[in-house]
Structure 1
Amino acid sequence: MRPMQSQGVGQLNFHFTPEQEALIGLARQVAKDVIAPRAAEVDEKGEYPEDYFQAFRETGLLGVAIPEQYGGAGLGCTGLVLAVEEVAKYDCSAGLMLLLTRLSTMSILLAGTEEQKKEYLGGTAAGRRRGAFCLSEPDAGSDTQAIRTRAVRKGDEYVITGTKNWISGAAVADFFVVATKTDPEAPGSKGYSVFVVDRDTPGVTVGRKEKKMGVRGVPVNQVIFEEARVPATSRLGEENKGFRIIMETLNSVRPVVAARGIGLAEGALMIWLDYAHQRHTFGRPIVEHQGLQWMAAELAAEIEAARLLTYRAAALVDEGKFGKEYAHFLSMAKLKATELAVKAANDSLQMMGAVGYMEDYPLARYVRDARQLTIVEGTSQIQKTIIGRALADGLLKW
């Protein structure tokens, strides 16, 4: 979708460009040909789907959001949102795989050197490299300022020590973007630094794999740093000024998380619609029963509202508007779309009745997967806090 630029008083452009239409068609074809037939098996086995990854690499979807000068398609956050929405209709894990291409590289794009950008962004776009974003810790989830992982300067190196928890994609990653504390005495948001660390660095270990409720196709592991020595040149940006990098990385990815929610919601409703045309009660297809039509209509309207909110948020990111003064708009998209995903999965299951509750049908997986979305990249409560503060500070008004 083109950024919503004025075409005259009251005129906004809500149409996709030909390039975006082609991207949607490509992602949709990959989703139907590769992802849909395998989604149930991926969930059941809980294994990383290399065939998804290979399909993404062969079609260039890994580089959708990466600038052209680093080997990507240069379609920005909006392009990634469109691709993620399509693949998440069939498997939320597939949406997360594409999201990680942004989450693991955004800090590098914001603050890395040209050499780092060529290596890590270029490698990600080509499928040569896979990254993971290491932020959460055993005692630092929503409270980012509780980070305890230390990076101590020793000459031309830093020594990193600490444990990161619940790191998506860690098991298959070959580099990590790591949030650390370089000045433990600094108050509040001061004293943080961000590093890019190769997996084969001595002292870096990928720990146990967690047993998850849903989104089982992308493993979640601990990442342990035991006096891991990295060159000072691996730091992203200035020492002790990394908190802004962390926050802007999270802000910029929230529309993509929202796209996973929208895709899941659309997929859940599509499953019900297919079933509702086949299932008959009281002499007619259940899709003709008004009570069910009303439930489905409400979901359809909410999906369209969430899509527009998310597309606008993605356009803001592509315009460079993802700092504190715009964070509430990005949080709105994440909040609305992910809460909707939970509702859509639950309501679609309810409309299907007993058959929807059976594991032979995919809606049980959609219900489990949806619950992840309201937690990752900032819980729904954190999003409400960001929006509430914007209201209190006068950043949001009509």
Structure 2
Amino acid sequence: MNPYLNDEYNAIREGVRALCAEFPAEYWRKIDEEKGFPETFVTALTEAGWLSAMIPEEYGGSGLGLAEASIILEEVNRCGGNSGTVHGQMYNMFTLLRNGSEEQKRYYLPKLASGELRLQSMGVTEPTTGTDTTKIKTTAVKQGDKYIINGQKVWISRIQHSDLMILLARTTPLAEVQRKADGMSIFLVDLREAIGNGLTVQPIANMVNHE
């Protein structure tokens, strides 16, 4: 018996399918031709509650699991859309849900659930470190009650369309840790304040309209 064929999952598929029917192939072709971002689609998916599927109910979400989130994204693709424009909200949100303080979760998660804020970007990859994340060169040094972050990231998808970004930086030099995976910290960056105030963003032209 396939566990992904129960009534609850089918109801999710039907709901997402109904929303996607409002965005035919012509819509997605136009977005792709213009190398644009499907703003209207993302807003509709958010307002329908699909992007807050994994946010617990106490924070304004649906409290669903990874299987349900996967079905939502799968159905977007099945209907001819591009879930790559929205999946970041789900997995980046989970980083906050799993590691954030209660104060952070109560402040940010309801705003993410309602669509007031978007958390669609994750700054991890760097142009000089290859695939070994432990060798990142972005550093975060605490000065008073703030951290000063210096470094460069690459392939930060959807950053032009996000209010917040998850950022990985090294807070302890690699030479000073026992395990190379130690000494790294996750920061939640408010892009609305950071861009133009020490942070610059430069789009990278590529062949798949993924910015």
TM-score (norm 2): 0.89
For 2:154 and 2:24, how far apart are their aligned partners in 1? 28
Q: Which amino acid aligns with 1:101?
A: Q
Question: Counterpart of 2:31?
Answer: 42
1:185-216: CA deviation from partner (whole Å, max 9, x where unpaired): 334111101111111334343411111211x2
Question: Counterpart of 1:191?
Answer: 183
3-state DSSP of counterpart to 1:140: coil
Q: What is the Cα deviation at residue 176 of structure 1?
A: 1.0
3-state DSSP of counterpart to 1:158: strand
Give yes or no for the alignment of 1:31 onto 2:25.
no
For 1:141 and 1:91, how far apart are their aligned partners in 2? 33
Equivalent position to 2:206, from 212, 220, 224: 212
Residue 152 to residue 76, structure 1, CA distance change in 2 (3 Å)? same
* Equivalence map 1:12-91=2 (5 Å): 14-91=3-80
Residue 15 to residue 50, structure 1, CA distance change in 2 (3 Å)? closer
Is the contact between residue 62 and residue 101 of structure 1 (CA under 8 Å) also seen in structure 2? yes
Residue 165 to residue 62, structure 1, CA distance change in 2 (3 Å)? same
Q: What is the Cα deviation at residue 118 of structure 1?
A: 2.3
Residue 91 to residue 129, structure 1, CA distance change in 2 (3 Å)? farther
Question: Counterpart of 1:95?
Answer: 83
* Equivalence map 1:171-190=2 (5 Å): 171-184=160-173, 185-187=175-177, 188-190=180-182
Equivalent position to 2:103, from 105, 115, 123: 115
Is the contact between residue 37 and residue 85 of structure 2 (CA under 8 Å) also seen in structure 1? no
Which runs of structure 1 show a deviation greater than 4 angstroms over 4 or more consecutive aligned residues? none
Q: What is the Cα deviation at residue 45 of structure 1?
A: 0.6
Larger Rg over CA atoms: 1
For 1:76 and 1:141, how far apart are their aligned partners in 2? 32
Q: What is the Cα deviation at residue 158 of structure 1?
A: 0.9
Question: Counterpart of 1:322?
Answer: none
For 1:139 and 1:35, how far apart are their aligned partners in 2? 40
3-state DSSP of counterpart to 2:128: coil
Give yes or no for the alignment of 1:158 onto 2:113.
no
Q: Which amino acid aligns with 2:143?
A: K
Residues matched between the structures, number: 205
* Equivalence map 1:354-369=2 (5 Å): none
Is the contact between residue 171 and residue 184 of structure 2 (CA under 8 Å) also seen in structure 1? yes
Residue 15 to residue 80, structure 1, CA distance change in 2 (3 Å)? closer
Question: Quick check: which one's helix share is greater?
Answer: 1
TM-score (norm 1): 0.49
Q: List runs of 5+ in structure 2 lacking aligned partners.
A: none
Over the aligned positions, Cα root-mean-square deviation in angstroms equals: 1.9
Residue 177 to residue 212, structure 1, CA distance change in 2 (3 Å)? same
Question: Counterpart of 2:117?
Answer: 129
Residue 113 to residue 126, structure 1, CA distance change in 2 (3 Å)? same
Is the contact between residue 183 and residue 191 of structure 1 (CA under 8 Å) also seen in structure 2? yes
Question: Counterpart of 1:142?
Answer: 131
Q: What is the Cα deviation at residue 110 of structure 1?
A: 1.1
Q: Which amino acid aligns with 1:30?
A: L
3-state DSSP of counterpart to 1:129: coil
Is the contact between residue 56 and residue 63 of structure 2 (CA under 8 Å) also seen in structure 1? yes
For 1:50 and 1:120, how far apart are their aligned partners in 2? 21
